[in-house]
């Protein structure tokens, strides 16, 4: 007997990837339901070699569904997740709506799987921000080895993080530039084609953006509240794959060679770090992959125990859909939920 799984936001970038990954990994599902807004009702999405008809989230009865993988935006999640949770269905939510709620675990399975205990207070589990997920996968083993004091991260984030509309805008603007048509900005505040934009999500009072704040708040919640983190988040004209330049200061001594060895053995990490042309990973190569790739590991001689590295991952997978499904697998493998239809 398998689990009945709903994917809410199934027509979006992340929702489609959730369906792909459920199928690829052979998740023990007895039934998979695709949900989206009323706009998409009756349209079709692929699930492995099957086609699912999209149903309207608003009219769906969750009373015999076990897990809802939700990637339909913060407002939709705020409205629906508590109602779905109250019906006994566990929501794994990809938006930022619940990440900072003390009663909602924020989980990256390679980093803090035990924090999943207590998920049933609200029946909601949060998936981190895409930039934070890949960052903490790379930081956790280094923190265990040499205790991180401070992290300075600059992100280079792909347009797929801004949804389907973000990808469409990069495509349309690139074509417009080539054929000398006027370039229109709709999704992004400035032109993204052949440009970079140092602004993701809304501005906060201190001049940082919400995206930058998320990286530090979520790293502290999942890894260690004592770690100091500062971030600059930048949108770049890449379709899929977020990159990060990461500078780390440690309490204890750690060499680049030691860090490379530790990361080679760490869950979810893949080190590609040759000191030669092309001996590193770029986002184009990480699209469709599950790993967090780490390259350009070097010592930072300007501080006592410092390292620099380059971290790249598929933001739709480890940064969103894959991590959500790994959380669902954690629930199942630890016996924290049972298929309700079997009860
Ligand atoms: P729809 O296609 O019907 O608008 P993306 O982030 O890639 O743009 O995708 C967002 C996803 O969230 C889409 O599947 C979208 O469905 C879904 N969505 C947005 N608003 C709602 C809503 N109010 N109810 C249900 N699904 C929603």
Q: What is the pLDDT of residues 192-220, one digit of tens each?
A: 999 999 999 999 999 999 999 999 999 99
**Ligand 1, atom 21, residue with closest C-alpha:** 37
pLDDT value at position 1?
Answer: 78
Ligand 1 pocket member 12 (CB < 6 A) = yes
Q: Which of 231, 242, 269, 286 is catalytic?
A: 242
User: Is the pLDDT at 342 greater than 90, yes or no?
Assistant: no
CA–centroid distance, residue 228 to ligand 1 (Å): 35
286 given a catalytic annotation: no
How far is the C-alpha of 289 from the C-alpha of 7, rounded, in Å? 21
Ligand 1 pocket member 39 (CB < 6 A) = yes
Q: Could you confirm whether domain 3-127+321-342 is CATH 3.40.50.720? A: yes
How far is the C-alpha of 31 from the C-alpha of 2, rounded, in Å? 8
Residue 228 corresponds to which tokens in the numbers above?
A: 């100091």
Q: Could you confirm whether domain 131-158+196-313 is CATH 3.30.360.10? A: yes
- Is 115:270 a contact under the CB 8 Å cutoff? no
Residue holding tokens 């998320």?
Answer: 214
Q: What percent of the chain has pLDDT over 70?
A: 99
130 given a catalytic annotation: yes
- Is 338:331 a contact under the CB 8 Å cutoff? no
Ligand 1 pocket member 173 (CB < 6 A) = no
How far is the C-alpha of 62 from the C-alpha of 225, rounded, in Å? 36
> Is the ipTM, as predicted for this complex, more than 0.90?
yes
- The domain segmentation of the chain, as residue ranges, is 3-127+321-342, 131-158+196-313
How far is the C-alpha of 295 from the C-alpha of 277, rounded, in Å? 12
pTM of the full structure: 0.97
Q: What is the pLDDT of residues 276-290, one digit of tens each?
A: 999 999 999 999 999
pLDDT value at position 343?
Answer: 65
């Amino acid at each position: 007997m398998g689990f009945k799984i709903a994917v809410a936001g199934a027509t979006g970038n992340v929702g489609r990837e959730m369906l792909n990954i459920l199928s690829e990994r052979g998740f023990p599902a007895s039934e998979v339901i695709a949900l989206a807004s009323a706009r998409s009702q009756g349209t079709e999405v692929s699930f492995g070699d099957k086609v699912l008809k999209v149903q309207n989230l608003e009219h769906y009865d969750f009373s015999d569904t076990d897990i809802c993988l939700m990637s339909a935006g913060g407002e939709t999640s705020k409205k629906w997740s508590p109602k779905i949770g109250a019906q006994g269905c566990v929501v794994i939510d990809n938006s930022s709506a619940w990440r900072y709620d003390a009663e909602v675990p924020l989980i990256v399975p390679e980093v803090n799987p035990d924090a999943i205990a207590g998920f049933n207070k609200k029946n909601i589990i949060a998936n981190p921000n895409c930039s934070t997920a890949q960052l903490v996968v790379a930081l956790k083993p280094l923190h265990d080895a040499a205790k991180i004091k401070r992290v300075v991260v600059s992100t280079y984030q792909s347009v797929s993080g801004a949804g389907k509309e973000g990808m469409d805008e990069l495509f349309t603007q690139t074509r417009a530039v080539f054929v000398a048509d006027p370039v229109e900005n709709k999704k992004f505040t400035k032109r993204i084609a052949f440009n970079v934009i140092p602004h993701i999500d809304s501005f906060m009072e201190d001049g940082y953006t919400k995206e930058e704040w998320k990286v530090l708040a979520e790293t502290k919640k999942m890894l260690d509240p004592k770690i100091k983190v500062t971030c600059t988040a930048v949108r770049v004209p890449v379709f899929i794959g977020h990159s990060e330049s990461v500078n780390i200061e440690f309490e204890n001594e750690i060499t680049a060679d030691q860090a490379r060895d530790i990361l080679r053995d760490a869950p979810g990490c893949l080190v590609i770090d040759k000191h030669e042309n092309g001996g590193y990973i770029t986002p184009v190569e990480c699209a469709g992959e599950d790993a967090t790739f780490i390259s350009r590991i070097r010592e930072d001689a300007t501080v006592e125990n410092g390292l620099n590295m380059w971290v790249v991952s598929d933001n739709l997978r480890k940064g969103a859909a894959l991590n959500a499904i790994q959380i669902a697998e954690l629930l199942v493998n630890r016996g924290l939920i049972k298929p309700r239809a079997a009860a």
